Amino acid sequence: MSYTDHDPYDSLTPLRDVVNRFLGDGLVSPERLLTLGRTMPIDVIETPEEFVIEASLTGVRPSNVHVSATTSSVTIHVGRKTHAKADDEGVYLRRERIERHGPEMTRTIALPAEIDPSKVKALYEHGVLTIHIAKDESTKPKTIPLQIAKEYVER
């Protein structure tokens, strides 16, 4: 009778490899971000006169940023050219720069009031896109004059 050296834990090796990869890459690795989709972080601020949208677009050239507006929303589209790797550049040992993977991002922000698309202004400076959106006159709060009854005026 021959003896076969068999490890009872061999069937768990694939599970161990998956757990090691998960712990090694972290919860949010660049590859995991690609599967979850890409978006840009924004802040939307409302003042009595306007809406202001600030979007972080670090590392994006101004020529790749496009802003469009309708009467109820603003869309930011970032289109990047992907890096074409030449054969003589070498082989990646580690590749984490997401912008080379995902060439495009789009974000549409629905606004709580009607706007005039012709009054939208966009400024791009130091990786931050700031969009100023003037409110339509019909949506701005209006002061209602208070009428005072005669009996209160005399006192």
Q: What is the pLDDT of residues 50-102, one digit of tens each?
A: 999 999 988 888 888 999 999 889 999 988 655 556 566 777 777 666 544 44
Q: How far apart are CA 86 and CA 84, in angstroms?
A: 6
Q: pLDDT (tens digit, 9 = 90+) per residue, 2-58?
A: 666 667 767 767 777 777 777 666 555 554 444 445 678 999 999 988 999 999 988
Give buried/exposed letters for 115-131 (b at 16+ CB in 10 A, else e). beeeebebebeeeebeb
CA atoms 113, 118, 123, 129: torsion sign? positive
pTM across the whole model = 0.58
